[in-house]
Structures are given as structure tokens and as C-alpha cells.
């Protein structure tokens, strides 16, 4: 696997996990808990995954995989 491919997949995975954690946090806010964790845990997970995804995307230069020019 090419380094560019790995970075794009890693960015997409982190971003996807952040979105999923944010959705779980929203649902936990209404129901109290999701998968045994309160909404604060899910919000922090979403924040951490989002922050970890940012430098990977900013490092992407002229990538044909993610369409960055």
C-alpha cells in the first residue's frame, strides 16, 4: 500500500470515527448512555478523533486519491 493511500484511509477512518462518536454523544444526551458510556465520553472521543484527523489532511499535498490539488 502506498503511503498516500494509507494516509487517506487513516484520515477517512479518523474522521468517520469522529462523526460516529458525535452521533453516539447526541443519542446518549437523549437516552443517558450508549454502549455503557455517558455523552461526555462520546463528545471527548469525537473531539479527539477530529483533532487527530486535521494534521493528516493538512499534510496532503497534490493527492489524486482524495482530490487535493
Listed in sequence order, the DSSP H helices in the chain are: 3-31, 39-58
- pLDDT for 38 equals 85
- pLDDT for 48 equals 92
Mean pLDDT by groups of 10 residues along the chain of 69 residues = 72 89 86 81 90 78 60
For the question of whether the overall pTM of this predicted structure is more than 0.85, the answer is: no
Residue 50: strand, helix, or coil: helix
Task: Decide if 50 contacts 15 (C-beta within 8 A).
Answer: yes
DSSP label at residue 63:
B
Distances in Å between the alpha carbon of 48 and those of 54, 63, 64, 69? 10, 25, 27, 27
Residue given cell 458510556 in the structure block: 37
- pLDDT for 29 equals 76
Amino acid at each position: 500500500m502506498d503511503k498516500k493511500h494509507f494516509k487517506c484511509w487513516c484520515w477517512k477512518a479518523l474522521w468517520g470515527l469522529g462523526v460516529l462518536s458525535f452521533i453516539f454523544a447526541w443519542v446518549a444526551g437523549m437516552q443517558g448512555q450508549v454502549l455503557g458510556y455517558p455523552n461526555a465520553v462520546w463528545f471527548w472521543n469525537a473531539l479527539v478523533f477530529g483533532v487527530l484527523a486535521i494534521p493528516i489532511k493538512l499534510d496532503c499535498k497534490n493527492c489524486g486519491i482524495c482530490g487535493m490539488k
